[in-house]
Amino acid sequence: MATSKAKQDLDWANLGFKYRPTKARFSAIYRNGAWSEGALVESPMIEVHEGAPALHYAQQCFEGMKAQTAPDGRVLLFRPDLNSERMNRTADRLLMPQVPRELFLRGVEEAVRANYAWVPPHGSGASLYIRPMLIGVGENLGLRPATEYEFRVFVSPVGPYYKSAGMAIISLAVSDFDRAAPAGTGAYKAGANYAGGLLATKKAQELGANEALFLDSAKRLYIDEAGSANIVIAMKGNRFATPKSNAILPSVTRRSIMTLAEQKLGLQIEERPIELRKELADFEEVAACGTAAVLSPVGKLWVDGQWHHFHDKGESVGPVMQKLYDLLVGIQRGELADENGWVHEVTID
């Protein structure tokens, strides 16, 4: 007989990055100025009023996290406190109520625990993607904040975001569209940023790239970020740089990689505006990083009508990104010592 610890019979190595139904999701409602306790629900459907500000005025935000199984069977989250903090920064920016840290973590943990059967086993290369979301659901017509909100957490077992397993070498194309204005919502995880980026992604894919690379929208000179990930660069002279911009998402993965680059590889880390065309010749290895993207080396970049290639003409993964990937993923999967206290166990029983 199947126990509560039984796993789903899935082809874990070939999941792709897509939605798969699981048993339960967590939902809490904000009404009359207070959050409900929240509970697990079975239906993946949300019934919202047709006048919901989430539908009309994009008053909604989300987070992205992963749970992984360690060699000893523990289920680990990676720095969930930072996702909670970021959701609340976004909530403030969009005039939504904050989700208390305790409610956020409880919702994430309950959703993972209830769907334990879908948490990919250690060594499968897959992980459980976790999608916390906050949406304005109360009826409304004028342009004002909703009066009611839902905080929901659903999960889905996923494989790599980009097609191939392990470290996929990807390509990016500099976009003619802007993603976010300097004092707009680019630094917040608001769904509206992504709707605006869909056409840029399509155009990039028409050029044969995986994603668009956005430059700063004020001058179109400095690197901002990719459609679903931040950018990190191994530069000549043992430097490791990432763009400083108030229009990009403060990536949890990027912050962790910068720390590892300094602590473990002894690189000189730099967070500063990076002028693409002026500095391109100094780029040795470039990568996109994020929860879904993990650390994906960029083999080539479409800029000003031509492809510019990075490490080994984009044919192999460079040594710096390989080391950083191994360190990051090793910590996330509980294979390497967690010296910085980044992993958070979800107890299952």
Residues annotated as part of the active site: 189
Least separation in angstroms between residue 33's CB and ligand COI is 29
Least separation in angstroms between residue 37's CB and ligand COI is 27
What end-to-end distance do the CA atoms of the chain give, in Å? Answer: 18
Of 148, 224, 225, 284, the residue at the interface with ligand PLP (CB under 6 A) is: 225
Is the separation of the CB atoms in 341 and 77 below 8 Å? no
Of 84, 201, 230, 332, the residue at the interface with ligand PLP (CB under 6 A) is: 230
Classify burial at 28, counting beta carbons within 10 Å of its beta carbon; exposed 0-12, middle 13-18, buried 19 or more. buried
Stretch that binds ligand PLP, among 109-117, 252-260, 270-278, 319-327 (CB under 6 A): 252-260
Which entry of ligand PLP, ligand COI, none binds 175, CB below 5 to 8 A by partner kind? none
Number of chain residues interacting with ligand PLP (CB under 6 A): 12
**For helices 252-263 and 80-93, angle between their N-to-C axes, nearest 10 degrees:** 130
Residue facing ligand COI at closest CB distance = 64
Q: Which residues contact 232 (CB under 8 A, 6 or more apart)?
A: 240, 241, 242, 254, 257, 258, 261, 286, 287, 289, 295
Least separation in angstroms between residue 26's CB and ligand COI is 18
- The Cα 196–Cα 108 span in angstroms is 28
- The Cα 39–Cα 99 span in angstroms is 15
Tokens of 290: 């994020």
Stretch that binds ligand PLP, among 1-9, 14-22, 36-44, 249-257 (CB under 6 A): 249-257
229 binds ligand PLP (CB under 6 A): yes
Residues at the interface with ligand COI (CB under 6 A): 64, 228, 290-292
252 binds ligand PLP (CB under 6 A): yes
| Footprint of ligand PLP (CB under 6 A) | 64, 225, 228-230, 249, 251-254, 290-291
